[in-house]
């Protein structure tokens, strides 16, 4: 597309004053340059996220310094820290409250896959079991530089999107993710059928043994 654009003639007197680009490029440039992350931290990784936003690393260089205190004004959720089962319903609820377009970055080993607490009784093995993740940043904790690298990768992902195909302009409704229920353990409503089947099998085994 860039090559095609380069062939569009511009009168010599307008060279330097006129540029030709695509709507997609303009649309994506404006979105990637003004991402509003949500103020939201779960554990140690959040300290590195805060550091990335402070003066030494300065996320303002990427137009990302305006951390918002509400999901309704945010388009990026940085899941920074250990994802406990107790927090998952809140995280999913906040994600649902974010308007489209919205993105999720899993920061660190805990948010990406459970980290040092994987298989622990109180944590989940990655936030991607519940909400879609766009970028994973490895590390325990990732450095501010690593987070910034992940944010640049997110910008590159945004660059690849097209106004014609992005889901938020389709006529299809984007369904909210069912909020998990925290009881004695965490229950994902999307697994309701599986849970019912396994419970029935277990009850049948107990009855047969009785
Ligand atoms: S990945 Fe490491 S630094 Fe980050 S929240 Fe987990 S234990 Fe803490």
Q: Give residue-wise pLDDT tens across range 13-38.
A: 888 888 888 999 999 999 999 999 99
pLDDT at 52: 94
Pocket of ligand 1 contains residue 84 by CB under 6 Å: no
Pocket of ligand 1 contains residue 200 by CB under 6 Å: no
Runs of H (alpha helix) within the chain: 2-6, 23-32, 45-53, 88-97, 108-113, 144-159, 192-209
pLDDT at 5: 72
Could you give the CA distance from residue 118 to residue 120 in angstroms, rounded to a whole number?
5
Pocket of ligand 1 contains residue 140 by CB under 6 Å: yes
Q: Name the nearest CA neighbour of 138 among 114, 96, 109.
A: 109
Q: Give residue-wise pLDDT tens across range 95-138.
A: 999 999 999 999 999 999 999 998 899 999 999 999 999 999 99
In percent, the amount of the chain with pLDDT more than 70 equals 98
Q: How far is CA 34 from CA 59, 66, 88, in A?
A: 11, 9, 27
Ranking 69-73, 124-128, 190-194 by mean pLDDT, the lowest is 190-194
pLDDT at 107: 97
Pocket of ligand 1 contains residue 116 by CB under 6 Å: yes
Q: Is the Cβ–Cβ distance between 118 and 87 less than 8 Å?
A: no
Residues 168, 105, 189, 182: is their CA dihedral positive or negative?
A: negative
Pocket of ligand 1 contains residue 44 by CB under 6 Å: yes
- Ligand 1, residues 140, 144, 147: which to mutate, most atoms within 8 A of Cβ? 140
Q: Name the nearest CA neighbour of 41 among 96, 102, 110, 98.
A: 110
Instruction: Tell me: pLDDT of 56 over 90.
Output: yes
Can you give the pTM of this predicted structure?
0.88
How far does the centroid of ligand 1 lie from the alpha carbon of residue 139, in Å?
8
Could you give the CA distance from residue 145 to residue 41 in angstroms, rounded to a whole number?
18
When pLDDT is averaged across residues 151-179 and rounded to a whole number, the result is 92
How far does the centroid of ligand 1 lie from the alpha carbon of residue 176, in Å?
28
Residue nearest atom 2 of ligand 1, based on CA coordinates: 140
In percent, the amount of the chain with pLDDT more than 90 equals 68
When pLDDT is averaged across residues 56-77 and rounded to a whole number, the result is 93
């Amino acid at each position: 597309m860039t090559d095609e654009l380069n062939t569009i003639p511009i009168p010599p007197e307008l060279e330097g004053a006129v540029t030709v680009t695509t709507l997609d490029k303009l649309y994506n440039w404006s979105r990637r340059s003004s991402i509003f992350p949500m103020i939201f931290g779960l554990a140690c990784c959040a300290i590195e996220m805060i550091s990335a936003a402070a003066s030494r690393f300065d996320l303002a260089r990427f137009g990302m310094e305006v951390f918002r205190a509400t999901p309704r004004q945010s388009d990026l959720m940085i899941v920074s820290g250990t994802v406990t089962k107790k927090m998952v319903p809140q995280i999913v609820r906040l994600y649902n409250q974010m308007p489209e377009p919205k993105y999720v970055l899993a920061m660190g080993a805990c948010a990406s896959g459970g980290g040092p607490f994987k298989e622990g009784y109180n944590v989940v093995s990655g936030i991607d079991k519940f909400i879609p993740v766009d970028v994973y940043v490895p590390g325990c904790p990732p450095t501010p530089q690593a987070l910034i690298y992940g944010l640049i990768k997110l910008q590159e992902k945004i660059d690849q999107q097209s106004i014609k195909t992005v889901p938020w302009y389709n006529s299809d409704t984007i369904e909210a993710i069912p909020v998990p229920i925290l009881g004695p353990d965490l229950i994902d409503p999307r697994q309701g059928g599986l849970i019912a089947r396994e419970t029935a099998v277990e009850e049948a085994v107990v009855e047969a043994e009785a």
